[in-house]
Structure 1
Amino acid sequence: MSTDEESRFGELSFVYNMGNDADHKPDRLGAGEGAEVVLYDQTGNDDRVRGVLYIDDYRTYIQSVSTVNFRQTGNGDRTEFINDIINALYGPIITVSPDSLDFGTVLVNSGENLTLTISNEGNDVLTVSDISVEGDCFSTDFEQEYDLDPDDESELTVTFEPTATGDFEGFVTITSSDPFYGELSVYICGTGAAPEIALSPDSLNFGDVQVDDSVEQDFYIGNHGQIGLTVSEIYIDGNHFNVDFGGEFTVEA
């Protein structure tokens, strides 16, 4: 079998004798009716068309182009094969966007949210029965099973809350009634980071200072971490000292 969505359905070989046995003699397409699926001979070197399948609201039609025996290892049941085609064409089709999530760098002990959009691009109701997360520090807001009508979509919030510095990765796995992708996994990753303050020098000695006079010295605030350091306040414990802190600022990593 070959379809317009070869990456989704691929190619299948199957056992089906067309046109010989009265019990298996195919229905005929009417004039002007088209084919949804084209059947090819997979037994030889050629790829000549051997039959077509057409589905409308009332019947399934199969038109023989020539008599051919398709072979499959395993179950060659005609009804099961036709049902597989119907499900592929007219069942639910799950799509998830984007196909991966990169949270980038996130401050340790804080959280970042990103969104996955789950859509049903098929022709039947899609049931999302479970959503699981593999990987430390990741979670979702999935609560319970739900249905998506054709052309409907839902949003899933994925949260990354690193508890330590370093790289994290995992997968969000969506279990649904899609006949081909009953389990669909999305790669997720992120980096936990923290600032690390560094002061230079680590002490200040003003020496002897005349009464009612003043002496200034500088010290430097650095950041040896992996993410910006926010300095929100500087205060002094001790009399006769003051600092020219002008308000909150950030020291980049």
Structure 2
Amino acid sequence: NVSRGVTGVGTPPPPQISVTPASQDFAAVAVGGSADRTFTVQNIGGGTLTGSASASSPFGVFSGSSFSLAAGASQDVVVRFSPALEASYSGSVNFTSNAGNVSPGVTGVGTPPPPQISVTPASQDFGAVAVGGSANRTFTVRNIGGGTLTGSASASSPFGVFSGSPFSLHTGGSLGVVVRFSPTATGSFTGNVSFTSNGGNASRGVSGTGAQITVQTPKAGEAWYINRNVTIRWASRGLSGNVKIELSRDGGISWATLLPSTPNDGDQTWKVTGPATRQGRIRVCDLSGAVRDTNDANFTILRDVLTH
């Protein structure tokens, strides 16, 4: 009999890469949007598995691109699909490692972006508006997404949507929505214009003041004499700032400015000037001319009998 010795060394198995699943479908994703899917890379061998993952546009590795995994360890690799065009896409995610390479497939479809509403400006102030009158302001609605944006706008009294609702806007289209403020009483008012649509909703603030001026003198039929001082009297509510006083000598057909700006304190002394007329009217208004009142009927301007 003969016996011969043998020797050997048992060593750890080498690393071995496993990537699951074998592919990922991102399905339909709107252009300009994105979607994520996850692959799991695992070391099903021994030692340490090291490597990285990469993909070409419109696919890309969002997180977990580099990995270093002990035996049995795993890591998620998140891949993002971000289509820039309306088209079908296919590609692969390339996992390269010290234990070989794996390339699972990825697919996805870029679809038209959904409609998206934009409303400007952020708010509108109507300022002072005469009670019983009205003023308009405009909001611009725009479809900054894709498809067709459909919707409507609404507001509560004393605000209301005058025109531009409902709306239907293609990509990039815009429309002016006119809002009207119609105060029926003096005071400050605030509210919101509500825009509802298939591309989101928006609310924009509106504010305004109901204001009123009442001319108290001159009275109907009153006589004012040239070169004498008289007092013009008025009352106001909901009005701030100065007022303007005007005179008509033809019953209100044409007007001349007596005082372009004077404190809104309710009375103003004026030295009467010619020419004489039997169709005198006084008008007091805010500096914008939006809120105003005229005395009720004609008065007379006469030559001063004491000096003529």
**TM-score, normalised to structure 1's length?**
0.56
Call closer, same or farther: CA 1:172–1:251 in 2, change over 3 Å: same
Higher fraction of helix: 1
Instruction: Tell me which amino acid in the other structure corresponds to 1:20.
Output: T
> 1:90 is paired with a residue of what secondary structure?
coil
Preserved CA contact (<8 Å) 2:183 2:209: yes
Q: CA deviation at 1:244?
A: 4.0
User: In 2, Cα distance between the equivalents of 1:40 and 1:222?
Assistant: 77
Choose between structure 1 and 2: higher strand proportion. 2
Relative to structure 1, is the Cα distance of residues 234 and 146 closer, same or farther in structure 2, using a 3 angstrom cutoff?
A: closer
Per the TM alignment, residue 150 of structure 1 is displaced from its structure 2 partner at its CA by: 0.3
1:224 maps to 2:235: yes
Q: Does 1:161 align with 2:182?
A: yes
1:52 aligns with 2:80: yes
The Cα of 1:95 is off from its aligned counterpart by: 0.8
Match of 2:132 among 96, 109, 126: 109
Identify which of 149, 170, 183 aligns with 2:201. 183
Q: Which residue of 2 aligns with 1:131?
A: 153
Counterpart mapping for 1:22-101 below 5 A: 29-30=55-56, 33-34=57-58, 39=62, 50-55=78-83, 56-59=85-88, 90-101=113-124
8 Å CA contact 1:53–1:62 kept in 2: the answer is no
Pairwise CA distance, 1:116? 1.0
CA contact 1:200–1:221 (8 Å) conserved in 2: yes
Q: 1:90 to 1:199 in 2, by over 3 A?
A: same
Give the distance between the partners of 1:175 and 1:164, measured in 2 at CA.
29
- The structure with the largest alpha-carbon Rg is 2
Unpaired stretches in structure 2, ≥5 consecutive residues: 1-34, 42-53, 65-76, 96-107, 252-274, 287-308
Cα deviation for residue 197 of structure 1 reads 2.4
How many angstroms does 1:93 deviate by?
1.4
Q: Percent identity?
A: 24
Q: Show CA shifts across 1:116-142 (max 9, x none).
A: 1111111221111x32113x3111134
Q: CA RMSD in A?
A: 4.5
Q: For residues 280 and 226 of structure 2, what CA distance do their matches in structure 1 show?
A: 22
- Whether contact under 8 Å (1:114, 1:157) holds in the other structure is yes
Letter in 2 for 1:52: R
Shift in CA distance, 121/114, structure 1 to aligned 2, threshold 3 Å? same
TM-score (norm 2): 0.48
After superposition, the Cα gap between the structure-2 partners of 1:252 and 1:38, relative to the gap in structure 1 and judged at 3 Å, is farther
Q: How many residues align?
A: 187
Please tell me whether the aligned partners of residues 197 and 224 of structure 1 are also in contact (alpha carbons under 8 angstroms).
yes
Matched residue, 1:251: 284
Which whole-Å CA distance do the structure 2 matches of 1:200 and 1:117 have between them? 46
For 2:39, which of 19, 44, 48 is the aligned residue?
Answer: 19
Asked if the contact 1:108/1:162 (under 8 Å) is kept, the reply is yes
Q: Give, in whole Å, the separation in 1 of the partners of 2:204 and 2:193.
A: 5
Aligned AA (1:132): S
Query: What does the per-residue CA deviation read over 1:140-173, in whole Å, with 9 as the maximum and x for residues that have no partner?
Result: 1347644200011111111111111110111110
